[in-house]
């Protein structure tokens, strides 16, 4: 554990320069079956105006860690340790009242399923105006005007009439836009986007990604973009964090992670998605097995039961010792393979498969 923190601090940007700083975050849920270690030793920083992409499968802890940032977990069965600092303010020690003041104001969140995330009983306009009225003390009239303005900003046509529509009267893409408007109504400095494009068609997905990029350029918002789609990561992220079984297994710039991944899981992800321009004769290389249960994660490296390169590590190190997130060939990766091994696997086995 201590080695981990040390290696972290060596490469992490100086404290204070980061807008959001998550340090050694642990999230545990108590369930009937036992304690779920949803997030472990997660550390990352996000600068102003930058986008961090978080990649991972369901159950990798990517959503949970961000709910913890927002303080939206259920306090009854969740314990959180570590620290989350937003612009110098410690969020884990903030009171509910203070958090309420921050949420929707300084930090906001958009969700995957816009239909479910918007209440069916209230108009789009009211739902957008609500946080604005709460955080700025604006009147109903001002709230409504602001909602219309926000709808216009996210590209909803005829906002002055659509503002009175209910969510079910919007199409999927427009609902997502409306939710973005709702999140951005108080000009948040941090926006957490939890798989906002996953449920959308490619054409709409491209529209939403462009919209988020435009809005970020206008207002300098920092974005955490959670997705499992590496294609979307490539479009929007500056930095990428790859999570597996509640831990960060790789962290680097978008280009580093997508072009010179240093972790077997990253390699697995890259070779299991078909490329639109790759040769169709190369079969996909799926990652065998299934993601582990977080109730009882494998000892050592959590990825070891599915890893194709386990034999290259001497002894049973993979099964007994958890690899620290340490620098390897330019960015951080948590794997026992030596730098040379990683580099040679990457250049000899992985990259040839990716380029046709």
CB-based contact 25:43 (threshold 8 Å): yes
Q: How far is the CB of 133 from another protein (least distance, A)?
A: 10
Tell me the pairing of strands 190-194 and 107-110.
Answer: parallel
Site for another protein in 177-206 (CB under 8 A): 179, 182-183, 201-206
Side-chain-side CA neighbours of residue 300 (13 Å): 16
E strand intervals along 3-137: 20-31, 34-46, 51-55, 78-86, 89-90, 107-110
Of 42 and 102, nearer to another protein (C-beta) is: 102
Of 59 and 324, nearer to another protein (C-beta) is: 59
Tell me if 296 contacts another protein by CB under 8 A: no
Cα–Cα separations (whole angstroms), residue 238 to 67, 128, 227, 251: 21, 29, 14, 11
Q: How far is the CB of 58 from another protein (least distance, A)?
A: 6
Q: Which of these segments, 42-50, 78-86, 280-288, 314-322, binds another protein (CB under 8 A)?
A: 280-288
Tell me if 210 contacts another protein by CB under 8 A: yes
Q: Binding marks (x or -) toward another protein, 76..115, rule CB under 8 A?
A: x-------------------x---xxxxxx--xx-x-x--
Instruction: Estimate the share of the chain in helix, then strand, then coil, as percent rounded to the nearest 5.
Output: 40, 20, 40
Q: Of 287, 301, 328, 345, which one interacts with another protein (CB under 8 A)?
A: 287
Q: Of 235, 267, 323, 326, which one interacts with another protein (CB under 8 A)?
A: 235
Nearest in space to 39 (alpha carbons), one of 216, 271, 226: 226
Of 182 and 313, nearer to another protein (C-beta) is: 182
For residue 230, give both structure tokens. Answer: 């590496």
Site for another protein in 110-149 (CB under 8 A): 111, 113, 116-121, 130-131, 134-135
One-character DSSP codes across 146-164: HHHHHHHHTT-SSHHHHTT
């Amino acid at each position: 554990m201590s080695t981990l923190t040390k290696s972290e601090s060596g490469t992490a940007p100086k404290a204070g320069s980061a807008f959001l700083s998550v340090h050694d975050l642990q999230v545990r849920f108590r369930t009937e079956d036992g304690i779920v270690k949803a997030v472990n030793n997660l550390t990352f920083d996000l600068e102003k105006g930058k986008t961090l992409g978080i990649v991972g499968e369901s159950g990798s802890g990517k959503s949970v860690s961000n709910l913890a940032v927002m303080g939206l977990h259920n306090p009854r069965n969740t314990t959180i340790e570590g620290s989350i600092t937003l612009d110098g303010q410690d969020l884990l020690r903030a009171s509910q009242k203070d958090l309420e003041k921050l949420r929707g104001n300084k930090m906001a969140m958009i969700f995957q399923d816009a239909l479910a995330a918007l209440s069916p009983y209230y108009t789009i306009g009211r739902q957008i105006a609500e946080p604005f009225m709460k955080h700025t003390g604006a009147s109903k009239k001002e709230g409504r005007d602001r909602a219309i303005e926000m709808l216009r900003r996210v590209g909803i046509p005829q906002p002055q009439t659509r503002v009175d529509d209910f969510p079910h009267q919007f199409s999927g893409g427009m609902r997502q836009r409306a939710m973005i408007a709702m999140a951005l109504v108080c000009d948040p400095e941090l926006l957490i986007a939890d798989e906002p494009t996953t449920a959308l068609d490619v054409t709409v997905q491209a529209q939403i990604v462009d919209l988020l990029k435009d809005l970020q350029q206008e207002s300098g918002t920092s974005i955490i973009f959670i997705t499992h789609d590496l294609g979307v990561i490539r479009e929007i992220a500056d930095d990428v964090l790859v999570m597996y079984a509640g831990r960060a297994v790789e962290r680097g710039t978008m280009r580093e992670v997508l072009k010179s991944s240093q972790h077997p899981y990253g390699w697995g992800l890259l070779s299991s998605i078909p490329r639109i321009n790759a040769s169709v004769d190369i079969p996909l290389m799926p990652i065998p097995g299934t993601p582990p249960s977080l109730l009882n994660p494998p000892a050592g490296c959590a990825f070891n039961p599915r890893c194709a390169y386990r034999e290259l590590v001497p002894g049973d190190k993979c099964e007994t010792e958890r690899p620290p997130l340490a620098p390897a060939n330019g960015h951080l990766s948590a794997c026992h393979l030596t730098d040379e091994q990683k580099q040679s696997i990457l250049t000899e086995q992985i990259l040839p498969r990716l380029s046709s």
